Amino acid sequence: MTEKAADRRSFESTDDNRVAGPLIHAQQIVFDDDIGLELGGRLQAVRCAYETWGTLNQDASNAVLVCHALSGDSHAARHDPQDDPGWWDDLIGPGKPIDTDRFFVVCPNVLGGCRGTTGPGDINPETGKPFGADFPQITIGDMVTVQKQLADHLGIYRWRAIIGGSLGGHQAMSWVSRFPRCTDVCVIIASSPRLTSQALGFDVIGRNAIQTDPHFYGGQYYDKPRRPDTGLAIARMLGHITYLSTEVMEKKFESDRHDPREIATSFEQRFSIGSYLAHQGQKFTTRFDANSYVTITMAMDLFDLGSSRLQLMETFGDAECEFLLVSFSSDWLFTPRQSRDMVNALTALDKSVTYAEITSPRGHDSFLINEDIRQYAPLIQARLGDLDQEPHQISMVESLILDEIPESASVLDLGCGDGHLLAELKRRGHQKLVGVEVAQSGILKAGSRGLNIIDYDLNEGLPAFIDNQFDVVVLSATLQAVANVEMLFDEMLRVGSRAIVSFPNFAYRELREDYVIRGRSPKAPGEFGYEWYNTPNRRFPSIADVHDLCRQKQIRLVNEYYFNASTGEQVRADQDPNLNADTAILVIAAD
Amino acid sequence: MTEKAADRRSFESTDDNRVAGPLIHAQQIVFDDDIGLELGGRLQAVRCAYETWGTLNQDASNAVLVCHALSGDSHAARHDPQDDPGWWDDLIGPGKPIDTDRFFVVCPNVLGGCRGTTGPGDINPETGKPFGADFPQITIGDMVTVQKQLADHLGIYRWRAIIGGSLGGHQAMSWVSRFPRCTDVCVIIASSPRLTSQALGFDVIGRNAIQTDPHFYGGQYYDKPRRPDTGLAIARMLGHITYLSTEVMEKKFESDRHDPREIATSFEQRFSIGSYLAHQGQKFTTRFDANSYVTITMAMDLFDLGSSRLQLMETFGDAECEFLLVSFSSDWLFTPRQSRDMVNALTALDKSVTYAEITSPRGHDSFLINEDIRQYAPLIQARLGDLDQEPHQISMVESLILDEIPESASVLDLGCGDGHLLAELKRRGHQKLVGVEVAQSGILKAGSRGLNIIDYDLNEGLPAFIDNQFDVVVLSATLQAVANVEMLFDEMLRVGSRAIVSFPNFAYRELREDYVIRGRSPKAPGEFGYEWYNTPNRRFPSIADVHDLCRQKQIRLVNEYYFNASTGEQVRADQDPNLNADTAILVIAAD
């Protein structure tokens, strides 16, 4: 790598395409009516700057609202090839996952911002001077109020989708909690119902740095020769560290730790990370306003939809839309656990929800990065109606399982893989269908079919679901991989009226012969190529073993099927299936 | 909980006992000779403040050096019951793990500090004013140079032990890398060979906050009416967040997030964490000097023993001492992975080392907290000669294993449990003995016997050890729990000339009968009370299965023993052990 490339590489950040100049494609609207604020006070003549892509169709049913994050603005994507890059170019554009040839995309700058929409830098009509730190404390809800005014102005009464990451996710959540019928689809990425205490702490420190900057002047610095750039740069440096995963930080700074790139700065430059942070901090001050930073971070910090499941259920109880939530494994600022808290409330409410935790080393920034967008974009496309229509194959086992599922029954499929069983149920007209899967390829495939898939580990039980939520719970060809069997059985029968469990029979004749004659650990059928020392399976029950467990747990056997998967021959219950069948399907219910 | 108690609880930190007043027990020495500094320059008439406990014995062989962390000082423990508390009271004192009735404990304030030892606040003889920011850049090595001068002064030429956490661990590492014969024991807690890039980034930001404080005056603020307290408070706030685990942060601030305690501060107080940080930040400024903070953090940031195993091996190659390393699972500032990097270098050098990763929710602070000290203290006591002498029981299987181990052979015991096999080998005179164990209770018990125990997960292989490091590797009654069997076999025969593997035989007659007659999943002998659905074991090989694997991998069978563990009867190789023995011991070697 040339030195120049190395320099560029080490300074590369997801924000390097942010420009400080005017947003030439931004439109503006000034609202006639005052905006009443949630914490008190009003704002007059609020101006909203926004950009749009594509064309609103006749019945205004194809509008997609894109909500930007803390340091973002209305320029989510290019308008033409010569345009400045947008912050979500990989997601939005002609033929892109959010296809501007099909959808009318709207991206407004948030209230309190400094990129066109009314914010602390604007003139306070009562004083004739900029608001500065006297700009009223706004909330995410207030940002949404302004966006709603914009929607009314544009003739949009229901969004096709509202989508945002981080702070943008907060806005999306606020929309559907305040206006339950505002959208068909709500997409919440790398976000949370409230910040962690740690994230809150970092924000507090950042604001302290800004507000104690000698050039802050109580926020009235606009007519002064100097601005609180030092404090703002420090706040931004702190933010930067929180957006990067530890892995990314090691990659970026490990090899040249003691070789800082020389830049013009009065900040410390002893280490490569020092000059990087100085560069990022200073660059930020050329395009962002300190008062806006304070205002917006405070709104994020005040955002609190609740921390308990009940509170969250109350918040989203009336929402009439489909949800998609995405988190990233290495995001330590907006953690997967917080997304799961949201998901647990939505599933308990029987809302249509898909949730994927994308495996990524790139931290909170992931939602803006191409490699990660490529992973989660198909889920968005599916929610926007662009479904994977690949025909699905049903095995014999699955046919028998399907036969056991009553018409129009609600079904939870645990370890659903790529969702083909659920796809078949959907084809047959079943309405309430949910899959649980932990393998990312399965989740993305099933999600692309338009199914509701939850990215959960079955060994943690089924905390997402409430008692008796489903008519049928299916555990097909998955029992062997489960560590916590007893708990899962309890959970299945808590959540479902009945459960259908299929598994390979470990006491099958051929296996017994193998074992008895050869004295080798039996290899269950279907254990294609696995040996005793590398099989991913943990549990090797015989049919009799599972019957014993059910008896012990006073689980009622409703129905039973035994057969040889290879020949397709069924084995009757009086034909010693424990010896003669290689596969079993048990239908069970709580006693 | 009363309101007062709640107030106290939410503000409680491991530092709340720090006092700003004079250290009445500190002694001082001013050195005649200049101190030459590693990065250039010299300091004259360096003064070292220190405290001692206990009495130095006649041959000066009972001295323990305690090295403090960033914001610490010489007052590691009380000198009497009425004394102010010390920062490591739970560890140091009469009858405590570091027993001041037996040892002469010395704790000096570090060079560059502000608690008695020469630092930036002292007068520069060349200018007659305080050094300020002109204090030369010092290193951890320079801190150690001053400590060595102190040791010489006290007549101590070899320490019984050097012990430190965090920055204190850096000092301990620097001691043994520069003075390889300086100590019998080196204890390194919650530390690292160099900071992570993330930790470095946080330090850079903290220093930026201090140095851009309007009252910093290039470090020459001592005669000014105001000090750079704002910047120092902000730096401290940042440090605080990094010392706390996310779990602790949620516990401390979750329930009263929006109810800040009112305190006198100009910092933001909108949230409970805000007033906590403001309180902690401000309190710190009453007892710590900004220039010292800059100086010491920079020394920590410059500390770099290398990032590769080879570099670390070069650093510690000559060290002649026993090592003890301790990390904490939720410490995200000085991570367990970094401790493992150190351990991998020490084991490759055949150094005597014990390493434990203590499971704790309390983050980096853990090393100072009572509940965690109680976990790791026995390991320190063992290193100080206070061994657990509980007699150990040897089972029949283990007897046979012991018979297979040549006299004075070096042995690595994988999954060594509480170390009793190693204890027996030690009793029989074997010298080089190392255990690997992942269960904390086992590690602490084995460590308390004075054995070298490494806290590693066998499923990650044996990266700590080099080729042919041991005569014998033992895997006793552990094979069943291993996920990655093939890789472990390869590793065992890479690391050892031969391996001894004992395991229950899954094809034992009784199990086959059970299986064939009852059609139930066989329960291996010794699977006390476990069923198919909850056994922690993953692998169920028969003797024949293991022979097959060895054949396939061209592993040579050196010797074999088969028997019934319950009766003690041996089964000869020609007596169909695969059917008639419930336990096997195989001695294997690479072909």
Structure token digits, residue A510: 């051929």
B539 contacts in A (CB within 8 Å)?
532-533
Q: Cα(A500)–Cα(B205) distance, rounded to whole angstroms?
A: 57
Which pLDDT band, with edges at 50, 70 and 90, does B518 fall under? confident
Q: Cα(B502)–Cα(A65) distance, rounded to whole angstroms?
A: 64
CA of B185: how far to CAs of B66, B92, B387, in Å? 12, 16, 15
Q: Determine the 3-state secondary structure of A42 from DSSP.
A: strand
Residue A106 backbone phi and psi in degrees, to 5: -125, 130
Q: Cα(A205)–Cα(B218) distance, rounded to whole angstroms?
A: 23
DSSP B99: E
Q: Which residues of A373-384 are buried (b: 16+ CB within 10 A; e: fewer)?
A: bebbbbbbbbbb
Determine which helix (DSSP H) or strand (DSSP E) holds A275, and give its type and residue range. Answer: helix A272-285
User: B290: left (phi > 0), else alpha (psi -120 to 50), else beta?
Assistant: alpha
Q: How many CB pairs under 8 A join A and B?
A: 202
Distance from CA of A513 to the nearest CA of B (A): 9
Quick one: three-class SS letters along B29-76?
EECCCCEECCCCCEECCCEEEEEEECCCCCCCCCEEEEECCCCCCCCC
CA of B235: how far to CAs of B208, B239, B273, B294, in Å? 9, 6, 16, 10
Tell me what pLDDT residue A1 has.
39
Structure token digits, residue B29: 């020495």
For residue B17, give every residue at least 6 positions away whose Cβ sits within 8 Å of its Cβ, in sequence order, or none: B84, B85, B87
* pTM of the predicted protein model: 0.94
> Residue B571 pLDDT more than 70?
yes
Cβ within 8 Å, pair B250-A196: yes
DSSP A589: E
Sign of CA dihedral B55, B57, B60, B66: negative
Distance from CA of A521 to the nearest CA of B (A): 6
In the block, residue with structure tokens 């010299």 = B42
**Residue (of B380, B323, B384) closest to B177 by Cα position:** B323
A16 marked ligand binding residue: no
> Residue B231 pLDDT more than 60?
yes
- Mutate which of B212, B237, B330, B485 to test chain A, going by most A C-beta atoms within 10 A? B212
Q: Determine the 3-state secondary structure of A532 from DSSP.
A: coil
Cβ within 8 Å, pair B200-A273: yes
Q: Which CATH number fits domain B387-590: 3.40.50.150, 3.40.50.300, 3.10.20.30, 3.90.580.10?
A: 3.40.50.150
Q: Cα(A254)–Cα(A252) distance, rounded to whole angstroms?
A: 6
For residue B173, give every residue at least 6 positions away whose Cβ sits within 8 Å of its Cβ, in sequence order, or none: B186, B188, B191, B193, B305, B315, B342
Cβ within 8 Å, pair B307-A254: yes
B385 contacts B409 by C-beta, under 8 angstroms: no
Q: Cα(B132)–Cα(B234) distance, rounded to whole angstroms?
A: 19
- Mutate which of B268, B279, B302, B503 to test chain A, going by most A C-beta atoms within 10 A? B268
Structure token digits, residue A70: 């803390």
Q: Which residues of B are catalytic?
A: 166, 331, 364
Cβ within 8 Å, pair B521-A540: yes
Tell me what pLDDT residue B521 has.
81
CATH topology of domain B3-302: Rossmann fold (3.40.50)
The torsion angle over the Cα atoms of residues B46, B51, B53 and B57, rounded to 10 degrees, is: 10
Cβ within 8 Å, pair A520-B507: yes
A89 contacts A78 by C-beta, under 8 angstroms: yes
- Helix (H), strand (E) counts: chain B: 18, 20
Q: Looking at the partner chain, which of A201, A507, A532 has a beta carbon nearest the beta carbon of B539?
A: A532
Q: Looking at the partner chain, which of A240, A519, A579 has a beta carbon nearest the beta carbon of B544?
A: A519
**Residue (of B248, B87, B103) closest to B183 by Cα position:** B103
B576 marked ligand binding residue: no
In the block, residue with structure tokens 């000066």 = B60
CA of B118: how far to CAs of B112, B114, B170, B503, in Å? 6, 7, 19, 61
Quick one: three-class SS letters along A279-302?
HHHHHHHCCCCHHHHHHHHHHHHH
Residue B37 backbone phi and psi in degrees, to 5: -100, 150
- Mutate which of A10, A39, A198, A205 to test chain B, going by most B C-beta atoms within 10 A? A205
DSSP H helices in A431-542: 440-448, 485-495, 509-518
Domain ranges of chain A: 3-302, 387-590
Cβ within 8 Å, pair A208-B234: yes
A208 contacts B273 by C-beta, under 8 angstroms: no
A516 contacts in B (CB within 8 Å)?
512, 515-516
In the block, residue with structure tokens 């004394």 = B83
Q: Please report, in tens digits, the pLDDT of each residue of chain A (591 residues total).
A: 344 444 444 455 555 545 556 788 999 999 999 999 999 999 999 999 999 999 999 999 999 999 999 999 999 999 999 999 999 999 999 999 999 999 999 999 999 999 999 999 999 999 999 999 999 999 999 999 999 999 999 999 999 999 999 999 999 999 999 999 999 999 999 999 999 999 999 999 999 999 999 999 999 999 999 999 999 999 999 999 999 999 999 999 988 899 998 888 989 999 999 999 999 999 999 999 999 999 999 999 999 998 899 999 999 999 999 999 999 999 999 999 999 999 999 999 999 999 999 999 999 999 999 999 999 999 999 999 999 888 888 998 999 999 999 999 999 999 999 999 999 999 999 999 999 999 999 999 999 999 999 999 999 999 999 999 999 999 998 998 899 999 999 999 999 999 999 999 988 988 888 788 888 887 765 555 688 888 888 888 999 999 999 999 999 999 999 998 878 899 999 999 999 999 999 999 997
Please measure the distance between the N-terminal and C-terminal CA atoms of chain A and give it in whole angstroms. Answer: 68
Q: Cα(A278)–Cα(A236) distance, rounded to whole angstroms?
A: 10
> Residue B413 pLDDT more than 70?
yes
For residue B269, give every residue at least 6 positions away whose Cβ sits within 8 Å of its Cβ, in sequence order, or none: B260, B262, B263, B275, B278
Chain A's closest residue to B254, CA to CA, is: A197
B84 contacts B130 by C-beta, under 8 angstroms: no
Determine which helix (DSSP H) or strand (DSSP E) holds B9, and give its type and residue range. Answer: helix B3-11
Distance from CA of B415 to the nearest CA of A (A): 18
Please measure the distance between the N-terminal and C-terminal CA atoms of chain B and give it in whole angstroms. Answer: 68
Cβ within 8 Å, pair A548-B270: no
Q: Which residues of A are catalytic?
A: 166, 331, 364
DSSP B518: I
- B3-302 against B387-590: fold identical: yes
Q: Looking at the partner chain, which of B238, B249, B545 has a beta carbon nearest the beta carbon of A520?
A: B545
User: B60: left (phi > 0), else alpha (psi -120 to 50), else beta?
Assistant: left
Tell me what pLDDT residue A527 has.
55
Structure token digits, residue B34: 């200049």
Structure token digits, residue B443: 């590690």
B3-49: pLDDT as tens digits: 444 444 445 555 554 555 678 899 999 999 999 999 999 999 999 99
DSSP H helices in B213-302: 229-243, 246-253, 272-285, 290-302
The residue-averaged pLDDT of B376-391 equals 94
For residue A263, give every residue at least 6 positions away whose Cβ sits within 8 Å of its Cβ, in sequence order, or none: A269, A275, A278, A279
Q: What is the mean pLDDT of chain B?
A: 93
Q: What is the ipTM of this complex?
A: 0.92
CA of A374: how far to CAs of A90, A444, A560, B221, in Å? 8, 11, 43, 54
**Radius of gyration from C-alpha coordinates of chain B:** 28
- Mutate which of A268, A276, A332 to test chain B, going by most B C-beta atoms within 10 A? A268
Cβ within 8 Å, pair A237-B205: yes
Q: Looking at the partner chain, which of B197, B209, B249 has a beta carbon nearest the beta carbon of A253?
A: B197
Distance from CA of A146 to the nearest CA of B (A): 25
B420-435: pLDDT as tens digits: 999 999 999 999 999 9
CA of A26: how far to CAs of A52, A281, B406, B553, in Å? 8, 26, 82, 67
Q: Cα(B103)–Cα(B590) distance, rounded to whole angstroms?
A: 48
Tell me what pLDDT residue A150 has.
98
Cβ within 8 Å, pair A241-B202: yes
Task: Name A280's bridge partners.
Answer: none
A590 contacts A556 by C-beta, under 8 angstroms: yes
Asked which of A59-68, A284-293, B273-282, B510-519 is least confident by mean pLDDT, the reply is B510-519
